[in-house]
Amino acid sequence: MAKVTISCSIPVDDEVVTEFLHKYVLQSRVGAARRLRMGEKGCFYTSSLYQADHAKVSRLIRRMLAFFESKDIPLTILKIGALDSWYEVDPEQRDPWKIAPQALLALLDATPDGDGQAALST
């Protein structure tokens, strides 16, 4: 079971993006705008994968990745293992935990043990 966080790689000040986060990630507009302006340190989404809500989480993450790609806004995606803690991630040295959007999509398609395709339809 992996855990992921998503933030913008660069500071973003865009009302459409703020509204997207408000609508889909259920954050206040003020909170979403503040996190977006923080860039990489402004994590706006955190989730565990392969839980009972995996299909719902997968759809939301896919929607977010497509939206930010359409806006040409690079994302910082961090992944840790199920037994790891976010406290182990050094906010100043995130590289060991960074993954590309394509790697996250592959994770969403994999089973929890990393073997084959997920049985859940996303």
Token representation of residue 5: 């966080």
In terms of Cβ atoms closer than 10 Å to its own Cβ (0-12, 13-18, 19+), residue 121 is exposed
pLDDT at 1: 79
Does residue 9 contact residue 39 with C-beta atoms inside 8 Å? yes
Instruction: Give alpha helix (H) positions in the chain.
Output: 15-24, 29-37, 54-70, 101-109
- In tens, the pLDDT along 76-108 reads 999 998 888 888 888 788 888 999 999 999 999
**Has residue 114 got a pLDDT over 70?**
no
Average pLDDT, integer, range 53-69: 95
- Give the Cβ contact number of residue 67 at 10 Å: 15
Half-sphere exposure of 94 (CA within 13 A, CB side): 19
Average pLDDT, integer, range 43-60: 92
Place of tokens 């406290």: 87
Phi, psi of 98 (to 5 degrees): -75, 140
Instruction: Say what the pTM is.
Output: 0.86
More confident of the two residues 121 and 32 = 32
- In tens, the pLDDT along 1-42 reads 789 999 999 999 999 999 999 999 989 999 999 999 999 999
pLDDT at 72: 97
